[in-house]
Structure 1
Amino acid sequence: MLYKINEIFETLQGEGSFTGQPSIFIRLQGCPVGCSWCDTKHTWETKPDLAIPVNDLLAKSEESEHWSELSVDGIAKLFVEQNYQAKHVVITGGEPCMFDLTPLCAALESRGYSTQIETSGTFEVNTTEKCWVTVSPKVNMRGGYKVLSQAMQRANEIKHPVATEQHVDDLKALLAEHQVTDKQVYLQPISQKQRATELAINTCIENNWRLSVQVHKYIGIE
């Protein structure tokens, strides 16, 4: 199994249940969902002429559409070569669930890592039983993809971006449609603007949900 990767880096997880956890991020290339506020639009397309060697991928100093292809063993070997200390791996994108992530997560877990997937919920989640799945459901996006019941049921947490009351209404309708009542729900302001943050805070209090504020953006890390 080969995975198309936009970047691999070590940092702190800034969102959701694992906020503050040292983590290795694997950002996969490719996503057709089309979120208007996406902050990783450089991962949307997989252009064959932008494939680069792994060493060039690791040397990237800014966001780009360049990507490399790595096997499961290649990824695990790279972690050792880079002397990464974190034992938590976050697989994100792009849309990571366009890939079957079971081989990757199983291999990493067998080597002592915990795994987490961050997905839009618009593709079926194929992973190990132990993997922590964060569904950040994307409703009525440009790509026209629907949030799947399988993804909502597999989720360990629901982390929903919000800026307006409509976003809150969309989430409540989604939870009701898929009969999700036993998941931890996080609201995440789409920007650091006061209006979006206040909406998220008030809604969390009203519904006994939690706030996720993208700590990495406030402290200025990747």
Structure 2
Amino acid sequence: MTNYKINEFFETIQGEGQYTGTASIFIRLQGCPVGCSWCDTKHTWEVENDLQIPIQQVFAKTVETPQWASLSANEIVEHIKLQGYRSKHVVITGGEPAMYNLIEMCDALHAHGFSTQIETSGTFEIKVPAKTWVTVSPKINMAGGYKVLASSMARANEIKHPIARQSHVEELEELLNTAPVSEGTLIYLQPISQKIPATKLAIETCMEKNWRLSIQVHKYIGIA
């Protein structure tokens, strides 16, 4: 039985990619060695054993902390029921969720009528069932020194790449040449921090390449 280290567990609207606008349950896992300088969840990077807390305290969090709780796949399903969540889509994020074997968790969720999605950097082997939607946001040349895996790119249902300048577009193009995606994989550009120049560049590039725009709807409307 696999136990998963959970930093956050909440219900909201998915604001990015193909599932934008979908009512979703987010499960944020603890642990990530990738080292993105602009990461907005750095509190999930380290796993400190003395910061383990009961799951009830995770649900009660009002600020971001590196504290985490340990749950099995069946316990995750049970706590979704206990919280009274109504969403039927579960987004597994991090941290870096692909550090974990997620098959057991996703299978348990599928058995209870949920759809599943993971959001990963693509730097770890992706272990999920075939029906899980895989979002790869490829983290290229980050401080941790991890390489984006060709197998992760090939497994992706969508690529979601944050950009601020032309060099970010070029690095994605280079990656797609060396680690191609499967036929039908959606490619999204996501302007970093909703800046006007980044948004303009993303729109122009999507028009040119027939890619898609992901605009982080949750940030525009001011929700988690």
TM range (shorter): over 0.9
**Superposition deviation, residue 180 in structure 1:** 2.7
- Looking at structure 1, the residues matched to 165 and 37 of structure 2 have their Cα atoms a distance apart, in angstroms, of 14
The answer on whether the counterparts of 1:187 and 1:210 sit within 8 Å (CA) in structure 2 is yes
**Superposition deviation, residue 181 in structure 1:** 6.0
The answer on whether the counterparts of 2:153 and 2:180 sit within 8 Å (CA) in structure 1 is no
| Match of residue 193, structure 1, among 195, 201, 207 | 195
Matching residue of 2:88:
87
Question: What runs of 5+ residues in structure 2 fail to find an aligned partner?
Answer: none
**Paired residues for 1:1-222 under 5 Å:** 1-180=2-181, 182=183, 183-222=185-224
TM-score (norm 2): 0.98
The answer on whether the counterparts of 1:95 and 1:120 sit within 8 Å (CA) in structure 2 is yes
1:76 aligned partner, one-letter code:
V
| CA deviation profile, 1:142-198 (whole Å, cap 9, x unmatched) | 000000011001000000011111110000001111133622100001111111111
- Sequence identity of aligned pairs in percent? 62
| CA deviation profile, 1:92-148 (whole Å, cap 9, x unmatched) | 000000000000001100110000000000000000010000000000000000000
TM-score (norm 1): 0.98
The answer on whether the counterparts of 1:6 and 1:43 sit within 8 Å (CA) in structure 2 is yes
* Runs of 4+ with deviation above 3 angstroms: none
The answer on whether the counterparts of 2:190 and 2:216 sit within 8 Å (CA) in structure 1 is yes
2:165 aligned partner, one-letter code:
T
The answer on whether the counterparts of 2:5 and 2:69 sit within 8 Å (CA) in structure 1 is yes
Computed over aligned residues only, the root mean square deviation of the Cα atoms, in angstroms, reads 0.8
The DSSP-based 3-state class of the residue aligned with 2:193 is coil
Question: What runs of 5+ residues in structure 1 fail to find an aligned partner?
Answer: none
2:9 aligned partner, one-letter code:
I
2:142 aligned partner, one-letter code:
M
1:84 aligned partner, one-letter code:
Y
1:51 aligned partner, one-letter code:
Q
The DSSP-based 3-state class of the residue aligned with 2:37 is coil
